[in-house]
Structure 1
Amino acid sequence: MRQFLWKGTALGRGGAKVAWEDVCLPKTEGGLGIRNLKDCNKALMEFLLRWGISLLELSLNIDRFTWCGHPSSSFSVSSAWNLIRARKILVNWAPLIWDNAIAPRYQFILWLIVKNRLPTQVMLLSYGRIGFNVCAFCSEVPDSRDHLFFGCRISASLAFFWAARCNLPWRNRCWNEVLSWARKFLTGNDFYHRIVRFSFGALCHLIWKKMNAIIFTGESLVVPALKNHLIKVVRDKAITFKNVSPSPRNKRLQRGWGFDPVVFLSGSDP
Structure 2
Amino acid sequence: MKNATFCGNFTLAPGSFTISSKDSSLDLKIKPDLKALDTDLTIDPLKHTFLFSIKKTCDKSGAAAQLDYNSENNQPVLTVFPRIAVKNVLSTGKVVVKSFKGLPLIQLQTQCGKVTLRQFYNPEEGKTRCGAFYNFGSVGPLCCLSVGVAGTFKALNIPNEAYFYTKATVKGIETAIILSKEEEQLGAEARLVAPFRNNYRAATSLKCVDKKVSGLFGLGFRCPDCGASANVSVNTETEVKAIVSIPLHKYVRGTTVALSASVPKVDAKVLETKPQVGVSLSFE
Q: TM-score range by the shorter chain?
A: under 0.3
TM-score normalised by L of structure 2: 0.21
**Higher relative CO (CA 8 A, sep ≥ 6), structure 1 or 2?**
1
Higher helix share: 1
TM-score normalised by L of structure 1: 0.22
Higher strand share: 2
